[in-house]
Structures are given as C-alpha cells and as structure tokens.
C-alpha cells in the first residue's frame, strides 16, 4: 500500500530549498560547450553560490591538484587547475554541498552518500572512453544518480507511516510502496527541471534494471554503481541490482577486464579525493 503518493509538483517544491550547486553544474556544462565562453564567464557563474565557491577553492588547494601556494580566490583556483578541469572540480564541490547532511530515511550518513556518488562518478569517467561515451556525461550521471534519494528523504523522513528504508532488501520496491515512485524516477523529474542532458536523465531513470531500449549510458551506470558496491561503498537496498552479466557488459560496450581496470584507476583517484569532499 502506498503511504504517501508523491507528485511532480511536490518533488519540485522540495528541491527548491536544496543548494543551487547542481543547477549551476548543469549551466556550467552548457557554458563549456560554447566556444565563445572564457574563464570570466565561468567565474561569474560559479560566484552565484558562495558556498560552492568556497568548496571549489578548498578542493583546488588540496594535494590532489599538487597545490604549492594556496589559492585565495576563485580565479586563482580555476587558473591553477586549468579550464578543462573546471567541470570535474565543480562536480566534486557540488556533491559535497548537496549531501552534507544525514539521510535518516535511508539510514545513510552524508559521508556514505558522498563517497558512493564520487566513486561511481570516477568509475563512469574511467569507463567512458572504452564505451565510446562522453566522459563528462558519464561522470555527471554517476555523480547525480542518487539525487532522487535526497528529495524523497526530505519529503518522507518524518512520515510515521513510511518507517525506514535503510533495511529493505529492494530499495526501489520500498520507495514505490512509500511514495508511488522510486528514487530513479524522482531524479529524472528533478534533473529534467534542472535542464541536464536528456541522455543522462534516461540513464539514471533506467540504471537499476536497464532493458531493451535503454541507452548504453544506463548499462554503464549499472556496472559503475555495482563496482562502487563491490569496492565497499554501496548504498542500502541496492546490492541486488548490480549483477554483472555478459549481456550487460555487451550493452555497455565494455569487457570484464576493462571494467576491472577502470575501477582500479577510479579507486586510486577516489582515495585521494574522498577526504577533500568530506
């Protein structure tokens, strides 16, 4: 029985109070595709959110970017990491900002959520060349795949009829009983409103159980999220979605060894970055 049916309007009302970082990330992606954009356009955009700006400077000053003299301004930070790295850096900062609190409905700490998002994104980014997909699109899908969990947590955490989703074996089934949709469908609604790329939205919507008609990015996201689970950074109730099968590998356009090597590379980056996005 559905305890609290959730509408599109309810979801969008809840996310209005979330940090603006994901929407800025979407705008940044479009801006970087414009050949006429320069560093000043990027800094003007990022300065719209003081919290995001502070996190970007912090990440840019970390050992990950081999910082010698610390940057004190956004312009210095972006100049140091380079124009090509701006999107990736902003993504790190964005996920840290939107997931800085515990998700009690799911029994997750902010750190667990952030680490899963970061590791999944890094595996996606590492797999993308072998799969023949845009690394930036793949990275963003991994980073934001659980956006719907944040919205559903905010809406349902105090509803006594729902209880906890932190111990269910099948998360999508538990969410659907509680809210009439799962977090993947919720994320698709939110990310469409935020004007992210439609392929990324479709991949997140379908990645729990990609099937005939699902795009390659959905299969890739299924594999990457599974690698995060096997690496020790999975999320409650999702383990049953990540079986590696020959059909899924073929649909994703990668082999088992490519998946293993991509996870190995992502793991090295993850260990360097996880403390930075804490």
pLDDT of residue 86: 84
Section 260-273 average pLDDT: 92
Q: Within the chain, how many helices (H) and strands (E) appear?
A: 15, 0
Which residue has better confidence, 23 or 245? 245
Q: Is residue 5's pLDDT more than 50? A: yes
pLDDT of residue 1: 47
pLDDT of residue 60: 82
Q: pTM of the full predicted structure? A: 0.91
Contact between 221 and 204 under an 8 Å Cβ cutoff? The reply is yes
Contact between 20 and 10 under an 8 Å Cβ cutoff? The reply is no
Q: Which CATH number fits domain 8-273: 3.90.1150.10, 1.10.3210.10, 3.40.50.1580, 1.10.287.3510?
A: 1.10.3210.10
Section 184-201 average pLDDT: 95
Section 111-123 average pLDDT: 94
Residue from 219, 67, 85 nearest 141 by CA? 219
Residue ranges per structural domain of the chain: 8-273
Q: What gap in Å lies between CA 277 and CA 134, rounded to an integer? A: 24
């Amino acid at each position: 029985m559905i305890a609290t049916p959730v509408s599109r309007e309810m979801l969008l009302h809840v996310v209005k109070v979330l940090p603006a970082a994901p929407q800025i990330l979407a705008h940044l992606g479009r801006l970087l595709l414009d050949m006429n954009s320069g560093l000043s356009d990027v800094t003007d955009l990022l300065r719209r959110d003081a919290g995001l700006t502070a996190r970007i400077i912090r990440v840019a000053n970390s050992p990950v970017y081999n910082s010698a003299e610390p940057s004190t301004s956004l312009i210095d930070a972006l100049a140091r990491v380079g124009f090509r790295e701006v999107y990736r850096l902003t993504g790190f900062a964005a996920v840290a900002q939107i997931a800085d609190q515990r998700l009690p409905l799911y029994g997750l700490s902010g750190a667990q959520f952030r680490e899963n998002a970061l590791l999944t994104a890094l595996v996606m980014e590492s797999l993308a060349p072998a799969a023949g997909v845009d690394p930036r699109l793949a990275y963003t899908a991994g980073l934001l795949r659980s956006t719907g969990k944040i919205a559903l947590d905010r809406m349902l955490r105090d509803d006594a009829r729902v209880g906890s989703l932190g111990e269910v074996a099948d998360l999508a089934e538990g969410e659907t009983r509680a809210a009439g949709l799962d977090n993947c469908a919720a994320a698709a609604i939110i990310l469409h409103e935020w004007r992210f790329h439609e392929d990324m939205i479709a991949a997140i919507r379908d990645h729990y159980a990609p099937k005939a008609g699902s795009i390659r990015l959905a299969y890739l996201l299924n594999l990457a999220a599974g690698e995060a689970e096997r690496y020790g950074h999975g999320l409650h109730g999702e383990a049953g979605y990540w079986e590696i099968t020959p059909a899924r590998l073929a649909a994703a356009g990668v082999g088992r060894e490519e998946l293993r090597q991509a996870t190995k590379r992502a793991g090295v980056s993850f260990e360097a970055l996880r403390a930075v996005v804490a």
